Structure 1
Amino acid sequence: MRRCWLALGITVLVTILLAASVWPVLAAQQQRITVTEYFVTAQGKIEKHAVRVPCPPRRVVVLGAYPVEMVKALGVDKAVVGVDDYTKKNTQWPEYVLKVPDVGSSSTPSVEKIIALKPDLVIEAFMKPEVRSQLVRAGIPVIRIYGYKTELIPGEIRTLGVIFNCQNRANAYAAYIQKQWRTVQERTKKLSSRQKVKVYWESSLGDWKTNGPGSGAHPLIEWAGGINIAAGLGVAYPVVSPEWVAAKNPDVIIKYVGREQAGWTVNDTKKMEDLRRQIMSRPSLKNTNAVKHGRVYLISDLITCAPQGAAGEYYIARWLHPELFRDVNPEAVRREMLKKFYGEELKGVWVYPTK
């Protein structure tokens, strides 16, 4: 009996000693660090905020298709315990989003559902300030990662690299994106103002809602050698009139399309063909240079104002200045990017016309 008690005592002592040695290691692995997050105002101004987050987080809720994609590319998606409902039900990519619960919309998620998942970090792109405040009061750190504000994307990727302690991967991912953007800018930098084309880029959220400074589309237009006709309005997402667009007479019209018209699960271009015909038949657009010369294009936001905009920008550049980008195959660049950083093959329909 004494031997049994002695053995039990030794077992308990060893367990205590092991716990004492393991928990400091775990605590050291998840220190709190201060990083910078960015907020973009309605006027397109960038504000910087300091935020304290765990490093690396072990349980993360990610809200928004763009930060969800970044997390996948960084190889830390196993930490994700919840996503927004739109990404899970409509975007349905990357595949890991189908295996975790949704917590509601990206702007007004369920605070109760998030708390129940016990995350040590929430990554968001659109969350309402009052919802964010509730989470912070509950002791859950929150950081904003847009993933669709073009100029911020490389910095946001590197911030996630610091948070998840995968800086090498993050630096390679961000550098790849920047390399593609530099290639486009190098080819268009010598264009004169007369050689640049006027662009009207319409949102998928409604007719006549366009993209001004502060939107993800604005720099893509300028880098590709275009002139954004909404540049002088001073609002990131202005709503304009048909008459206003007609008076500006754009040379190129680009329209964002939603997940029901383009994406991973879409297999044909019929819906985009119909939408393009509708746009070109609008009375106010019939006499624009864009419609008269058939320069009306449709594209998914997931490959433009997004990390994969590294490939999508080549579509924009070819549409604006085909003579400068005849040798570039945007689809090939995207295939390379998907394989290199996501471990996936390209599928679905993303642009129309496709050439």
Structure 2
Amino acid sequence: VSKYTLEDPTYFPEYRGKANLGSTWAPDYEQAAAVRPDAVFLYATISQSSCDEIEETLSSIDPGIRFFRFDSYRPTAYADEVRTMGALLGKEEGAERFLAFHGSVMDTVAGRIASIPADERVSVYLENWDDYKSAGNGSGYDEKIGLAGGRNIFADTAVEYPAVDPEAVISRNPDVIVKIVGAGELVFGGYGDDDPAPFEEVTRAIEDRPVWDRIDAVRDGRVHVIHSDVIGGPEYFIGVAYMAKWFYPDLFPDLDPRAVHQQYLSEFQRLDYDLEEHGAFVYPV
């Protein structure tokens, strides 16, 4: 498995002791060859050149390896990827059961925001773990903002993950700010860390940026921090539920993203993990 899987033993306890194959960006070909895999799973579109190189290199070592390419974080392809994975692993029934659960969350959100005109939707500035790095047109985060009923203020940017000018954020005056943590210099929270204090510190740091007190999101107390574990990958639908509730609290009084998250962990990940006692994923809670 990848090094990132081994670095998260709380979420992936069953992989303790497995061979560390490195990462997409720094693969360990010697280890990969030593485990003699029948199949290798790689990204479909993200880091495509690195994944192409891995496939080419491992194919030269063992032409019999089968390669499967999934992203698992792009909502438009997600259901097809789940079904394909279910077919590959002989788990078609489980895949459909999971998609029914996933669909119930996404359909609830979609149904309630459908009547909101595009120009009346909540405007959103999303920033990843790098300060002033946002989401542009075609990015997974841009898509997730839209699924939650938001209007990405940098959707007109052709670059998927653009570096933006702080002045541009101020001038576009978002209604809501969403900050992602869990990577880069903001590695805290998630399943192995129960302390919410760093989330609050990040919120205060955003609110204290020069002149940002002029932004509606800051003035109205609508700055939210979310961990990449519930928005960046296959669990993105949990993050969409959180964002929808943040964007339109009056539309979603009965939507409980934490309950959605708990059901996902207990029923589909089969983890004995109580979110009431462990983990830090969003702020404010």
Mapped partners of 2:232, 2:137: distance in 1? 13
Mapped partners of 1:151, 1:189: distance in 2? 18
Q: 1:244 to 1:343 in 2, by over 3 A?
A: same
Q: String of CA shifts for 1:95-119, please: whole Å, max 9, x gaps.
A: 1232312111232211111011111
* Contact preservation (8 Å) 1:253, 1:296: yes
Is 1:337 paired with 2:264? yes
Cα offset, 1:280, TM superposition: 1.2
Match of 1:131 among 46, 54, 63: 54
Is 1:100 paired with 2:18? yes
Rg larger for: 1
Mapped partners of 1:244, 1:313: distance in 2? 25
AA at the equivalent of 1:287: R
**1:104-123 equivalences in 2 (<5 Å):** 104-123=22-41
Q: Give the SS at the match of 2:213.
A: coil
Q: Give the corresponding residue for 2:227.
A: 300
Mapped partners of 1:297, 1:91: distance in 2? 27
Is 1:169 paired with 2:100? no
- TM-score normalised per structure 2: 0.89
Question: Between Structure 1 and Structure 2, which shows a larger proportion of strand residues?
Answer: 1
Is 1:251 paired with 2:175? yes
Q: Give the corresponding residue for 2:212.
A: 285
Q: Give the corresponding residue for 1:10.
A: none
Q: String of CA shifts for 1:180-229, please: whole Å, max 9, x gaps.
A: 1111010000012343111011112x111111233222222112221011
Q: Give the corresponding residue for 2:201.
A: 274
* Contact preservation (8 Å) 2:9, 2:16: no
Q: String of CA shifts for 1:230-262, please: whole Å, max 9, x gaps.
A: 111122211111111111111110011116322
Q: Give the SS at the match of 1:286.
A: helix
Q: Give the SS at the match of 1:181.
A: helix
Match of 1:238 among 162, 170, 176: 162
Q: Give the corresponding residue for 2:192.
A: 265
Is 1:203 paired with 2:128? yes
Q: Give the corresponding residue for 1:326.
A: 253
Q: Give the SS at the match of 1:198.
A: strand
Q: Give the corresponding residue for 2:79.
A: 154
Is 1:353 paired with 2:284? yes
* Contact preservation (8 Å) 2:6, 2:12: no
Mapped partners of 2:200, 2:138: distance in 1? 30
* Contact preservation (8 Å) 2:125, 2:154: yes
AA at the equivalent of 2:99: A
Q: Give the SS at the match of 1:323.
A: coil
**Equivalences, count:** 271
Q: Give the SS at the match of 1:335.
A: helix
Q: Give the corresponding residue for 1:3.
A: none
Q: Give the SS at the match of 1:201.
A: strand
Mapped partners of 1:203, 1:149: distance in 2? 16
Q: Give the SS at the match of 2:260.
A: helix
Identity %, equivalent residues:
32
Q: Bigger shift: 183-192 or 124-133?
A: 124-133
AA at the equivalent of 2:279: G
AA at the equivalent of 1:327: D
Which runs of no fewer than 5 residues in structure 1 stay unpaired? 1-82
- TM-score normalised per structure 1: 0.72
AA at the equivalent of 1:267: D
Mapped partners of 2:18, 2:151: distance in 1? 42
Q: 1:306 to 1:177 in 2, by over 3 A?
A: farther
Q: String of CA shifts for 1:3-26, please: whole Å, max 9, x gaps.
A: xxxxxxxxxxxxxxxxxxxxxxxx
Match of 2:136 among 212, 217, 235: 212
Cα offset, 1:284, TM superposition: 4.7
* Contact preservation (8 Å) 1:150, 1:217: no
AA at the equivalent of 1:240: V
Cα offset, 1:145, TM superposition: 1.4
Mapped partners of 1:294, 1:91: distance in 2? 35
Match of 1:180 among 90, 96, 105: 105
* Contact preservation (8 Å) 2:5, 2:12: no
Q: 1:214 to 1:135 in 2, by over 3 A?
A: farther
Q: Bigger shift: 312-321 or 259-268?
A: 259-268
